[in-house]
Every structure is written in C-alpha cells, then in structure tokens.
Amino acid sequence: MWGIVFFVDNSAHERVTVFDTTLRDGEQTPGVALRFEQKLEIARQLSDIGVHVIEAGFPASSKAEREMVTAIKKLGLEAKICGLARSVKADIDACLDCDVDMVHVFIPTSDIQRENTINKSREEVLAITADIIGYIREHSDQCIFSAMDATRTDWDYLIEVFRAAADAGATIINVPDTVGVISPSAMKMLIARINRDVDCPIDVHCHNDLGLAVANTIAAVEAGASQVQVTINGIGERAGNADLAQTVMILESMYRIKTGIRKERLVETSRLISRFTGIAIPPIQPVVGENVFSHESGIHSYGVMKCSETFEPGIMTPEMVGHRRRLTLGKHVGRHAVRQILADVHIVPTDPQIDVIVEKVKAVANKGKRVTDTDLYEIAESVMGIELNHKAFALEDIAIMTGNHVIPTASVRAKVKGTDHVFSATGNGPVDAALKAILGTAPSRIQLKEFNIQAISGGSDAICHVTIAVEDDHGKIFDASGSGDDIVLASVEAMVNAVNLVDRA
C-alpha cells in the first residue's frame, strides 16, 4: 500500500456547503429546456443527495419561472431554496413572493460589464449594492451577494463593493469567475485577500470556458471559501460550470473536507440530469463517466484484478460514487481480462486457447470495430469447438407500426425459457418502441445504458452496426451488437443478444 500525503492549506475549512445551480444556470445551457415535472424531480434529487442550497430559478424572468420556484419551495425539501435577482426591487419582490429561503442578488462590477450592461459608474454600483441588500434584509434573513465578473474587476474596487455588501447585511458574498478566465493561482490570491479584508463568508461560482472551473473552485476553498456553486455534469452557460461530482470528490477524498453530499448517489444523479437534458455523459467524464473504472490494457486489467489501487485512485472507489468496475475488450486487452470475462459465464478455455482467443479479439479491434461480449463468446466458441445453445430468450416475431401521425408501437412474440410471451410497447420512435417491447419480455430486469449506431457502408441501404450496453440488477455491464441493412432489426438483434448475455451470466 502506497502512503500518500495531500497538502491542504491551513486556511481551508473543515466543512464546505454545496450550492447547486443546475435548475438556474444549468438550464441556461443552450438547447436545454426542462419541463415542470422534471424540475420538481431534480429538486427532490438534489435535496436527497445532501445539497445545502438549491438555486431554483430566476423568478422575475417570467410567470412560469415564478410558479416553478414557488412549487419547488412548497415541496418542503431539506435544502434551502434560493431565487436569483438583479439589483432592482421588482426582482427582489418576485423572489419574496415565491417565499424563498434566500435571495441571490447580483450586479456587474467589472468595468467592461458595468459600462456595457447597466451603464452605471463605480460610485453608483456601490450605492445600489448597499440599498438593495438593505431592502432584502428588511424582508429576508439570508442574502447572497454576487459581484458579477468579479475576477475581471479591479481588485481594490472589488474589495470596496464586498465591504459595502457586508456592511449592508449580506450573509454571504459570492465571487463569480463569470467568463472563466482566472487561473487557480490567481483565484487563490484573490480569495485570500477577500478573506482577509472582508468580514463575510465567501462563496465562489466558476465557469468552465478554459476548463478551469473545478480547479478554480478548489483553489478558492484552499484560500478560505466556505461555499461552492456547482451544477450536475457541469452544465450551464457556454462551456458550463464547476461540476458537482468532481468538486465534491476532490474536496472529500483529497482534502478530507466534508460536504455532506451522499457520494454513492453521484452516478445516479448524473444520469438523471443527462436523461432530462438530453446531454450525454462523455465516457471519459471524471467520476461519473462510463470509462472511469473501465480497464482495457492488459497490464492495467491484470493489476486491477490483483489490487484495485494499482490503476485506480484508491481514494475514490467505484462503489463510493455509485459506479461499477468493468473489464473491457479492445486491441490492448490481455489474457487475464479475457479469462475473467469468460469465467463469469462459465467458459473455461485452456492456456493455448486463451492465446488464440486474445489474438482474434485484437484482430477484430484492429479493424476499428468495437468488440462486445457477444463477439468474445462467439470467438471463444469457435476456438474451443463448442456451441453454447442455452438461450433464455428466443425472438419469434416482431411487428412495428410507425408514421408521422402514429405513436410508434412494437409488439413482440418470444419464447422466454421455453414459455410463450407476447408484449407491446410504445416509444419515441420505432427503435425505442422495439427495444422497450423486448425488455418487457426479458427474463431479467435490464436497463439500457448505451446505444450506438455506425454505418459500415454507403448509401441509403447502408449496412449498420449497432452496439449497446445494458446493466443488470447487480450493476454489471454487458456489451452486445447487431448488424444489418435495417436499423430497427439490427437494434433488435443487439438487444436480444444482450438479454441472453445477462441470463447466461
């Protein structure tokens, strides 16, 4: 076991609160529009995983937004509910009408934003800040004040603004890196100075335009910030915000700073937001991505099978964040991983057979094709001269109806462990309907996790190759594929193969 020591600045807090703005800044992601019911479910999820403050929306922006924020507040969640407001009394009143626990008020302070958005002098901004915070505190116990574009604001003037806010009664001051241009070292210096010169708790809101949102957030905590603003999956304006999962795991595992977040639900929460927003989680997304605990390289797989910390952080395990470890197949796969994957389905080749199987797997991968579990089993059967006839699910017939004025519907007839079953399902399209119909008759509970289509020839009658990944009740992932000139039937073939893989295991 390696001994690892992480340096933590003495000014860092032992506990940091998490302010989530997925429902406000996150929904400002281009192309994202969440439905009423989805927002309520997201709010419940955020509170359930331990988020301390939920920024529910911008009430003054529309009647629908006010109704939404009010509805979230009425859920009676454990998390505090916050509403965003410009530094005008009508915006504050809109927040107060929603009965929020906290008003988050902002005003531009950098010269470029101050002159081009509100056309106010520095002196006027100072006066507005004191006046509007005083108004909020007459009606609310908690007020968070943001100096918008703080990191591009003259630092001496920024201190003046924050002092005015604190003197007027702000309960926390927020330092936004609004366009994501500060470096972690500069952020640390800025927060340290604010911490020294202003008597008020510090919050930080970092954008990811240059990929530094999480790093800048951590630097701020090192310098004394006690609250972090984040979103699920880092969604938000332009390149997004600091990601909640990454920020929390760095603070908890590297810095030993408590956040109160239920880390084992991070993957679950990430997938919920991905499903509602339509923004896929990149496989290489830190903490929650499908590849984070996946291993293909021979030496990596062998090392992880002996001791997981060989090629994993150790301070973050898959179970810790709601993930699963996975051995995958590809051009770098090794004998030990192949042997283990086959052993999971009770296929036990000899050493010479393993060598041939590995060689054939690499040959397939070198052609640019994704090698699925189905491919591996077929290769093993061929090399070993065996045929595994056991198939719990045999598709007898499938009928699909679709059209521009018809709800896509699929009906399947299948033998499931020797018994006839018939099931129908509707979907967003013919493929979705067909896969749901198959899952409705599957002998085991399965969730579809990945779906990919690749054309392997040209023209409107192109041959397509469909690869999917499904997850069983134990969190184990299975890959399967199907090919053909009909996208729907190729998808059906892949799902049938996947269903049989799960049962075989």
Q: Where are the domains of the chain?
A: 17-277, 294-384, 393-504
Closest CA to 16 of 287, 204, 170: 204
Q: How far apart are CA 393 and CA 503, in angstroms?
A: 9
Please, are residues 66 and 74 in contact by the beta-carbon 8 Å criterion?
Answer: no
Class of the domain covering 393-504:
alpha beta
Task: Quote the pLDDT of residue 88.
Answer: 97
User: Is there a common fold for 17-277 and 393-504?
Assistant: no
Task: Give the count of beta carbons closer than 10 Å to the beta carbon of residue 63.
Answer: 9
Q: How far apart are CA 280 and CA 123, in angstroms?
A: 45
Q: 378-404: buried (b, 16+ CB within 10 Å) or exposed (e) per residue?
A: ebbeebbeeeeeeebbebeebebebee
227-230 vs 464-471, strand pairing mode: unpaired
Closest CA to 22 of 63, 72, 95: 72
Total-model pTM = 0.78
pLDDT tens-digit profile, the chain (505 residues): 344 444 455 456 789 999 999 999 999 999 999 999 999 999 999 999 999 999 999 999 999 999 999 999 999 999 999 999 999 999 999 999 999 999 999 999 999 999 999 999 999 999 999 999 999 999 999 999 999 999 999 999 999 999 999 999 999 999 999 999 999 999 999 999 999 999 999 999 999 999 999 999 999 999 999 999 999 999 999 999 999 999 999 999 999 999 999 999 999 999 899 989 989 888 889 999 887 777 655 555 545 556 766 666 778 888 888 877 666 677 777 778 788 878 877 788 888 888 888 888 888 778 777 777 777 877 887 788 776 556 788 889 999 999 888 899 999 999 888 888 999 999 989 999 999 999 998 888 888 888 878 765 566 556 677 888 888 887 777 788 887 778 899 899 889 888 887 876 6
Please, are residues 396 and 415 in contact by the beta-carbon 8 Å criterion?
Answer: yes
Q: Any idea which residue has 């090399």 for tokens?
A: 383
CATH number of the domain at 17-277, out of 3.40.50.620, 2.10.10.90, 3.30.360.10, 3.20.20.70? Answer: 3.20.20.70
Q: How far apart are CA 310 and CA 356, in angstroms?
A: 27
How many alpha carbons lie under 13 Å from residue 271 in its C-beta half-sphere? 15
Task: Quote the pLDDT of residue 19.
Answer: 98
Task: Quote the pLDDT of residue 308.
Answer: 63
Structure token pair of residue 190:
């800025």
477-484 vs 464-471, strand pairing mode: antiparallel
